[in-house]
Chains A and B, each alone.
Chain A
Amino acid sequence: GAGVSQSPSNKVTEKGKDVELRCDPISGHTALYWYRQSLGQGLEFLIYFQGNSAPDKSGLPSDRFSAERTGGSVSTLTIQRTQQEDSAVYLCASSLSGLAGYEQYFGPGTRLTVT
């Protein structure tokens, strides 16, 4: 079946511009996560959506970052006024359930380069 998809796969933007990154989770998965992976670093948690509950935004690094999930499916991560330090691979993952024992399925990521 179809896995998690993300678009675009690569994005180059100028400093100060806004960008939107899209994630299509696996159908039926109620939990959705966004992570940031910088060169040589592990995965940094950004935000978590579970069903219709309020999202856990505790990992967002600044108020320039926001995310929404429409209809419990597609999610968009928006970065406003991009900075060079925002350059990274942004990964989306979905899970059948938000319960702890359920593994995440990852998309291929969006590589963001801020020039």
Chain B
Amino acid sequence: AQSVTQLGSHVSVSEGALVLLRCNYSSSVPPYLFWYVQYPNQGLQLLLKYTSAATLVKGINGFEAEFKKSETSFHLTKPSAHMSDAAEYFCAVRSNTGNQFYFGTGTSLTVIP
């Protein structure tokens, strides 16, 4: 069985501060992991993905995530938050033995000026 847990449904950071959005997964087989962002009134866009290559993955808009197998985590970070980063962020997992992507419930990021 596979699942994704995103700790913190709402996260607030000051502009310029570190962004840390947490994602833990469960998967009985090596996973493929994804972070998507959903801006207000828009569809989901891919930020980055892990597909068993480098454990530190760099994405768009300065975001990156590190796959830690021992912690079953794939946390999303950005060194310095920008006002335009305010959005809903979703972590997703998929294995190579099934068709489904399993999404977390999302984390809403607010950036305070």
Contact = CB atoms under 8 A, between A and B. Distances in A.
Given A91-B44, A108-B43, A109-B43, A56 B104 contact: no
Nearest to B94: A100
A65 interface: no
Q: Is the interface of B mostly helix, strand, loop or mixed?
A: strand
User: Interface size bucket, A side?
Assistant: 20 to 34
Interface string A33-60: 1010000111101001010000010110
Contact of B99 (A43, A48, A101): A48
Interface in B39-96: 42-46, 49, 51, 90, 92, 94-96
14 contacts: A33-B101, A35-B103, A42-B90, A42-B105, A45-B100, A45-B101, A48-B100, A91-B44, A100-B32, A100-B94, A100-B96, A101-B96, A103-B34, A106-B44
B37 to A, nearest CB: 11
Interface of B: 4, 9, 32, 34, 36, 42-46, 49, 51, 90, 92, 94-96, 99-106
A41 B41 CA distance: 16
Given A42-B106, A99-B96, A104 B101 contact: yes
Nearest to B102: A45
Interface of A is mostly: loop
A93 B44 CA distance: 9
A36 to B, nearest CB: 11
A40 B105 contact: yes
Contacts of A35: 103
Nearest to A58: B100
A17 to B, nearest CB: 26
Given A42-B90, A43-B90, A101-B49, A50 B99 contact: yes
A42 B104 contact: yes
Contacts of B102: 45
A91 B29 CA distance: 27
Contacts of B36: 106
Nearest to B44: A106
Given A100-B95, A101-B32, A59 B100 contact: yes
